[in-house]
Structure 1
Amino acid sequence: MPSYRAARTSEDVMRELTAILREMKDPRIAEAMLSIVKIDLSSDLSSCQVFVSSMKDLAAAQEAVKVLKNGAGFLRRELGGRLKLRHTPELRFTADNSIEHSAEISKILHRLEQEGRHED
């Protein structure tokens, strides 16, 4: 039963953090076009590792992570107010380049598809 609760809470945290990030007025966050890729919530719900990726590049994600780490207290308070948890998990942010990586894979696949059409 605890694994179901953790999975459900993880989804809730991801949804609410995404909404909070969209509402933030800081230009360093808005310009980075951030996306929360993955959340690792501890089994006791005390800590949460948030993997953030940027549509621009890894450097933009790393800069945004610095801003998010400085505002972690604010984000935790907002999250606690929205989710009504007894204890809001401690938030730790990590930059991730998975969006950039998937865009590169998509370009390669598109190029291979074009080359395959030219051979026919």
Structure 2
Amino acid sequence: MRTLAYPRVSRLSEEIKKLISHIIRNELRDPRIAPMTSVTVVEVTRDLRYAMVYISVLGSEEEKETTLEALKNSSGFVRREIGKKISARYTPEVIFKLDQSIEKGFEIQKVIDRVNKQETINRDSEEEEFKIED
């Protein structure tokens, strides 16, 4: 979804992101929510009815699944808290989704590091061959 063309939606998305981050960190007491949970992006639809909340969980697959389940179960509470703190005609329905982009970024970085290391090893071995021949 592109919120750049709709500044109000973009501002609301950012405000909701801050609120949900605060709620997860300070108000939800569910032990299933992993301590390393963060809200990466919030996308509010143009009609302000739905807010797609992408979360990142640093941990095992089981922790990710249980955290997502706990957040889905608490979506009514989160929506009510948002409604208390923002003044909008509608309080958007909160839909939590898992954001895998950070993990994918780590995987890509590992591949890049491995390729760079291999290139360095190959370059060093080529230099050694030239030194022996000289």
Q: Give yes or no for TM over 0.5.
A: yes
Partners of 1:58 and 1:82 in 2: CA distance: 33
Bigger RCO (CA 8 Å, 6+ sep): 1
Question: Is residue 46 of structure 1 aligned with residue 53 of structure 2?
Answer: no
Kindly provide the amino acid, as one letter, of the partner of residue 76 in structure 2.
G
Whichever of the two has the greater Rg, that structure is 2
TM-score (norm 2): 0.76
Partner of 1:113: 116
Corresponding residue pairs, total: 118
Shifted more, 4-13 versus 104-113: the winner is 104-113
Kindly provide the amino acid, as one letter, of the partner of residue 27 in structure 1.
P
5 Å-filtered alignment, 1:23-38, equals: 23=26, 24-31=28-35, 33-38=36-41
Partner of 1:11: 14
Partner of 1:74: 77
- Over the aligned positions, Cα root-mean-square deviation in angstroms equals 1.9
Question: Is residue 55 of structure 1 aligned with residue 76 of structure 2?
Answer: no
SS at match of 1:51: strand
TM-score (norm 1): 0.84
- Kept in 1, the 8 Å contact 2:34–2:57? The answer is no
Partners of 2:108 and 2:32 in 1: CA distance: 27
Shifted more, 57-66 versus 95-104: the winner is 57-66
SS at match of 2:56: strand
Kindly provide the amino acid, as one letter, of the partner of residue 25 in structure 1.
R
Q: Which runs of 5+ in 1 are unaligned?
A: none
Q: Which runs of 5+ in 2 are unaligned?
A: 125-134
